[in-house]
Amino acid sequence: ARPQGDLCNNADVTHLTELAQKVLDQLACPYALGDEQVYSTASLGISIYPDDAGDAIEMLRHSDQAMYAAKNEGRHCFRFFTASMQESALQRMQLVRDLRQAMALNQFKDYYQPIVELATGRIHKAEALLRWRHPTRGFISPAVFIPIAEDIGAIVEIGGWIFLRAAQNAKKWLSIVGDDLAISINKSPVQFRDRSPEHLDWVRLLETLELPGKHIVAEITEGLLLRQEPFIEEKLLAFRDAGIQVAIDDFGTGYSSLSYLTKFDIDYLKIDKSFTSNLAPGNETQALCEAIIMMAHKVGLKVIAEGVETEQQRDLLKEMGCDYAQGYLYSRPIPAHEFQAMLEAHYRSLNSAVQE
């Protein structure tokens, strides 16, 4: 409910609340479109004159902000405009402005987090993760800026940049690790659906770099595969032809529909860190993880557990036959040169162990 303003009294708010609910209910009624029965819902934003705004344009802007708040809170509901919405809208606008310049100002960094093979303890995989060092606000989490970059389309350029960095590094690190090296890169659905001609595709970039596709893993989310989109399927096929591997990220948090796992050529499932962090001997999460691992192995996929922070989690995952683990237990994401030093030390100690 709306904190009561000076001018707008309780009766008005009650009346508006009832009205908004009526509108939502009415809009939610199914209707016929040709032969189809169509269901739709609405998200409603409300601002009040003159409490919230002084003119029509401001009224519309604030209602719009309230509508986005309603969408964010699960849709099919209504929200009154509040001052904090205005505050977060302003912050977002500022971030959008800074984000547009960040690329030109070299504010992005590529970090790497090792992915450890549980059976051997060896590192021959890593995930590339973006970092944005904002000139005044310091590091801003990708969880905050990636969705904005997706909204404004900047993800295509930024994603292309980190791909290039990761692929160049992969090529360099082959001399340390040998042929069995793969670097994972997150690819957002917006990048997948992008058709802009100036955007070089991953397959063509790898050709230019003369790096075989098998050294790259594309991390995608389940959502990308749910709707049958021929363009996406074509791209995935092109990946397969180029040898690029595919991992399903955050597995278990979305629809977790199993049918697409065999329909598309998927190589890895990444168990989401929310599962890993809840793992305890004999609990339900363990049963779930065990089921995911068994099912994945049955259809020929390898499993990577994200967010492994404790030895107990690692041991449980290893017992259940999970193939790989990634998390703070081994290392936080680190800059490329640090990751390279880590790889060098790791392989030096492996080689000397072999010689002894």
Q: Where does this chain bind ligand C2E (CB under 6 A)?
A: 113, 129-130, 141-143, 146, 159, 162, 186, 188, 219, 249-250, 273, 306-309, 326-328, 333
Q: How far is the CB of 63 from ligand C2E (least distance, A)?
A: 31
> Which residue's entry shows tokens 């739709």?
40
Residue 276 makes CB contacts below 8 A (sequence gap 6+) with 289, 305, 306, 307, 308, 309, 313, 317, 327
Please give the sequence-ordered ranges of beta strands (E in DSSP) within the chain, or none if there are none.
31-33, 36-38, 44-46, 78-80, 108-117, 123-134, 138-140, 182-186, 216-221, 245-251, 268-271, 302-305, 324-325, 334-335
Q: How far is the CB of 110 from ligand C2E (least distance, A)?
A: 8
**250 near Ca ion, judged by CB under 5 A:** yes
Q: How far is the CB of 286 from ligand C2E (least distance, A)?
A: 18
Q: Both tokens of residue 63?
A: 């209602």
With respect to ligand C2E, which residue has the nearer C-beta, 109 or 171? 109
Q: Identify the H or E element spanning 50.
A: none
Q: How far is the CB of 356 from ligand C2E (least distance, A)?
A: 32
> Which residue's entry shows tokens 């509508």?
67
Q: How far apart (Å, rounded) are the C-alpha atoms in residues 298 and 296?
A: 5
Q: Name the residue among 51, 82, 55, 54 with its Cα closest to residue 66.
A: 82
Residue nearest to ligand C2E (CB): 327
Q: Which of 98, 219, 222, 323 binds Ca ion (CB under 5 A)?
A: 219
- CA dihedral angle for residue 66, residue 71, residue 76, residue 80, rounded to 10 degrees: -10
Q: How far is the CB of 249 from Ca ion (least distance, A)?
A: 4
Q: Which of 63, 65, 186, 188 binds Ca ion (CB under 5 A)?
A: 186
Q: How far is the CB of 44 from Ca ion (least distance, A)?
A: 33
Tell me which of Ca ion, ligand C2E, none is bound by residue 213, counting a contact when its beta carbon lies within the kind-specific cut-off of 5 to 8 angstroms: none
With respect to ligand C2E, which residue has the nearer C-beta, 142 or 254? 142
With respect to Ca ion, which residue has the nearer C-beta, 60 or 226? 226
Total residues in contact with Ca ion, by rule CB under 5 A: 5
Q: How far is the CB of 88 from Ca ion (least distance, A)?
A: 25
**52 near Ca ion, judged by CB under 5 A:** no
Tell me, rounded to whole angstroms, the distance of Cα 303 from its chain centroid: 18
Candidates 61-69, 159-167, 245-253, 288-296: pick the segment binding Ca ion (CB under 5 A). 245-253
Candidates 147-155, 188-196, 301-309, 315-323: pick the segment binding Ca ion (CB under 5 A). 301-309
**222 near Ca ion, judged by CB under 5 A:** no
* Residue 112 contacts residue 336 (beta carbons within 8 Å): yes
Candidates 84-92, 198-206, 230-238, 242-250: pick the segment binding Ca ion (CB under 5 A). 242-250
* Residue 130 contacts residue 158 (beta carbons within 8 Å): yes
**249 near Ca ion, judged by CB under 5 A:** yes
Q: How far apart (Å, rounded) are the C-alpha atoms in residues 253 and 128?
A: 21
Q: Both tokens of residue 210?
A: 């003369």
Q: Which residues bind Ca ion (CB under 5 A)?
A: 186, 219, 249-250, 306
